[in-house]
Amino acid sequence: MTTRNAFTYIEIMIVIVILAILTIAALPDRESTIQEEGRRATVVFEADVDYARSLSIARPDFPIGIKVAIGNNKYWLAPVATPDTPIAHPRSGQPYVRQFGAAGPDGLKNVQITALDLGGDDILKFDALGGTDQQIPAMVQFEAGMAAYEMKVSPAAAKVTTTKKETTNAEKLAVQDAKEAQQAADQAAIDAAQAAQASGH
């Protein structure tokens, strides 16, 4: 009776294929997860509009605005008189800044601010009655994966409405998925090779 000390080439290839399939199957639905980050960004923005508006109504002599730095993928709440100096967050005491993208917190890392229309400037101001300084609805757009979330703030009552639109990022995501599948297959091949070496060959 003979004893086998190694895997055959076919056995190694079967292991590689199985590991690659299991790895790909275990990947979460990345697109829906990314789009959920975009939806979360809209909820955060709407809450910040409500907060800035309420502060401006409470203190008409010290109105608060939302300044958007689209190039830095963030916005912050600041006094209209000193828009580059964020107010302190009421809970953390830190500057009231919302950062998106890679530098942002978990849950917002795939979000980009992609469009802005605040009447020719980069700050949305609120008056003593809770209206904005705009003649037409202000607009901020967030993008996450294949979805763009266009948020409009009405001039009179600062009512926020959100419209979700599909974008053309399908190719980008397909490339990313193919890259992840290739990485999974490469890792499976490495694991199989190490297993073969450990068995004596």
Is 167 inside a domain boundary? yes
d(CA 151, CA 11): 55
pLDDT, one tens digit per residue, over 10-31 is 777 788 888 877 766 655 577 7
Is 71 inside a domain boundary? yes
Query: What is the domain range of residue 101?
Result: 40-171
CATH number at residue 132: 3.55.40.10
Is 189 inside a domain boundary? no
- The amino acid at residue 199 is S
d(CA 170, CA 183): 20
pLDDT, one tens digit per residue, over 112-121 is 999 999 988 9
Is 24 inside a domain boundary? no
* Residue among 176, 149, 180 at smallest CA distance from 20: 180
Q: For tokens 């409500």, name the residue.
A: 50
The pair of structure tokens assigned to 165 is 């639109």
pTM: 0.71
Is 195 inside a domain boundary? no
Is 5 inside a domain boundary? no
- In terms of Cβ atoms closer than 10 Å to its own Cβ (0-12, 13-18, 19+), residue 130 is middle
pLDDT, one tens digit per residue, over 174-199 is 656 666 676 677 677 777 777 777 76
Is 162 inside a domain boundary? yes
Domains: count for the chain: 1
Is 191 inside a domain boundary? no
